Chain A
């Protein structure tokens, strides 16, 4: 291996690692606030990418139907609860938010021809369709059992993941898609070509990480999330609703996931079930961070990306074995350093 190859591999590792890092952040965020190990995080990546691909191909993405269906179900549940509590005034608002917005979006997709729109608008539309799925899934699947044990929430995550994979196959078919490149620019660095898209991925990830940092440190909602993460009951006593915190964190996670998907879909083909493995590698990063520390999680994710890139050069058949076996010593090291508080 010479320097050039090492650089190329490093570039590849960091690009993938940047995506894994974003997912690791989302996973840590969701876990810290809601104690849910959000296995379906990867599905948002796939849905985001494939929805954009569908829009670019001029097809109506199936995700909009899911959005509508979930909206209707939530409306029914919330409305019947409002009726039971005799708070009829809430009903119009419920219907407007949960049914009206998806309908509006669906209408927009029918009316405009998305394939003809400029790329930024397409990206926006794709995000608008996919991101609301996050809080809706939280509301339907997790909120009723928000107080359950971590294991129970984990198994619900598995069930949600299975459902979303099935829906993904239904909406997008078994074959994958790539989206158009955001930029075709490439820089010549020495002998090698640095793809513009790759730079975009890393830069966008960094920007997102910084934005999240400011969100958590400077805005009231960010602080509310951190408060819930540290002490759920205490935050409730201060007037921060656990459900709001949950929905907010899921919205962020969905946004990060969908955006990551949109970032990498020009570079690689995304399939309806690609999300799981990508999410798993983000999960590895998140665990290395102890499901608590964002910087360490991001670092762990990048480490996974690099390990992957280099071991696919050295011994591609055993790539997975190498990556996952190398994780174990890292885990042991992290485990020794973190003094684990025994009971929750």
Chain B
């Protein structure tokens, strides 16, 4: 067997790090200064990659957090003579506290309200910095002491270089670790999959707060470094324009990619320097053309590379998605299932109104452990709405839902998921850019404990192995073993539905809500699905099934409820339903 080649990515990374190590010895002073600034900006842009690129939360206020970090150290070192190394945790603490308070308010803002909220406090903090005399007002604080590393004072760009880039590389590593973990999957689901994530038990507000605070901490760290590099702070670098510039850098570089942050920061900084150097000789000294040319160039770049420059470059270095070997780990503990035959779910007089339209009208039924209950009806009967009401995705207007003896109609989806209910969706809700096993692993979210800190420091590997093993087991169970590491978006629709089922199973439910699981499957696949559902039933899981394929349903279901126009038309055993004249009239096709 041939020696496996070193993955191209690792090779490039090693070259990059080697270049960084050697740079201060070879490059002239000013280039190092530039690289230092690029490093500082990249640290902030990295926070934006996490917050905006991955989490979908646009923030213009990162510059204010940079200011918090910078001013904390400036104030403490000049007024109270605190050692700079102690002001770092102090600055990070201040930044974290402010971020948490601001986040609790602004992260509730949905959609477009959020960016404006970030602009609002970005401006407010800027003017606060400028107006507090203790912080030097608009004129600023000078005389900030340099950092001291034992006997070496970090004064020049050369000396600071290693510190800044070491911090940056550490943060990149931590961010990548964070994204490649249980919490990371939850974060990656925030953009475009939040509803699904909530149904799988992810606490999305908490995840949003986490990335918001982490992004703020990165910015605060950058501020601390900036203050000790320049040894002078005033409010100008922390204004709204700078906040816009950070976002600009992140987007131009590639806002969904961790390396896009460095690329964006580097591109913009270097471009501005070039323009400053070359434009006067090209266009004359009379006017100031740098801004104009810069803006024009950026428009051109963004038109050619909408997702940023990094994805464009990646096309030149195509790489198959890398995944490590599956580590054998201890299986996850299973939830004790309720006694077969006991009532799992009881729906009483459920009503759901959308304005004047009544989608569910006094629906009542129950599902028992170890049985398959089918919910059938014509299109538009309100079946998916019923599902959404039961699972907490779109709560009912009135009525009662009991699950395992507890009333759940007012609970959020994630609380219901925690109690042992899991579901699939009529319109497949997968994250197309993640692999099948990662998508399924989202289902295991509630079965893990490790926090984002553990993820960043990689101390969650044991638990992660167990979660992934569980996900792999469910994938195999659903017949998808050969697609395990493919991107979920590349599968045909029928297989995507199977992924949804695997994901639901991965949460170890006692009640499974399946919304048209057989749609798009071929005959043999449907047989396999029916076989799987029978096995699950035998294990004691309750299944509530919505389906249109009558053969499939009637051959599998223990009991059937028929809905029409939001109301219960009929309920009973499959044979009874098939003979019920009202059902035949409404749904199965009346005889003329």
Contacts and interface: CB of A to CB of B under 8 A. Distances in A.
B295 A160 contact: yes
B292 A166 contact: yes
B58 A151 contact: yes
Contacts of A159: 248, 295-296, 298-299, 302
Interface residues of B, number: 45
Contacts of A160: 295, 299
A162 B192 CA distance: 31
A162 B294 contact: yes
Interface string A126-164: 000000000000001100110011011011101111111
A325 B120 contact: yes
Interface stretch (B110-118, B146-154, B178-186, B439-447): B110-118
Given A152-B251, A317-B131, A328 B121 contact: yes
A328 B124 CA distance: 11
Interface in B98-138: 105-106, 108-113, 116-117, 119-121, 123-124, 126-128, 131
A166 B127 contact: no
Contact of B117 (A151, A161, A331): A331
A160 B302 CA distance: 11
Interface in B444-503: none
B287 interface: yes
Given A162-B298, A338-B110, A283 B127 contact: no
Given A151-B255, A159-B299, A342-B194, A335 B110 contact: yes
Contacts of A145: 302-303, 306
Contacts of A161: 295
Contact of A280 (B112, B119, B291): B119
A158 B250 CA distance: 13
A174 B383 CA distance: 65
B131 to A, nearest CB: 5
B123 A155 contact: no
Nearest to A166: B291
A335 B244 contact: no
B123 A290 contact: no
B291 A332 contact: no
Contacts of B306: 145, 148-149, 152
B327 to A, nearest CB: 35
Given A166-B292, A291-B112, A338-B110, A332 B120 contact: no
B287 A170 contact: yes
Nearest to B300: A159
B288 interface: yes
Given A145-B302, A155-B251, A331 B109 contact: yes
A327 B120 contact: yes
Contacts of B126: 320
A284 interface: yes
A275 B303 CA distance: 25
Nearest to A162: B295
Contacts of A317: 131
Interface string B218-252: 00000000000000000000000000100110011
Interface string A325-344: 10110011011101010110
Given A151-B52, A321-B124, A324-B120, A332 B108 contact: yes
B388 interface: no
Contacts of B251: 151-152, 155
A167 interface: yes
A290 B302 contact: no
A25 interface: no
Interface string A258-301: 00000000000000000000001001100100110000000000
A328 B120 contact: yes
Contact of B248 (A155, A165, A318, A321): A155
B508 interface: no
A334 to B, nearest CB: 6
A169 interface: yes
Given A159-B295, A166-B289, A166-B295, A331 B124 contact: no
Interface in B285-341: 287-292, 294-296, 298-299, 302-303, 306-307
- Could you say which of B52, B108, B287, B306 has the most chain A C-beta atoms within 10 Å of its C-beta? B306
Interface of A: 140-141, 144-145, 148-149, 151-152, 154-156, 158-167, 169-170, 280, 283-284, 287, 290-291, 317-318, 320-321, 324-325, 327-328, 331-332, 334-336, 338, 340, 342-343
29 contacts: A141-B303, A145-B302, A155-B247, A155-B248, A155-B252, A155-B302, A156-B299, A158-B248, A159-B295, A159-B302, A161-B295, A162-B291, A162-B294, A163-B291, A166-B289, A166-B292, A166-B294, A170-B289, A287-B116, A290-B113, A321-B123, A321-B131, A324-B119, A328-B121, A331-B109, A335-B108, A338-B111, A342-B194, A343-B192
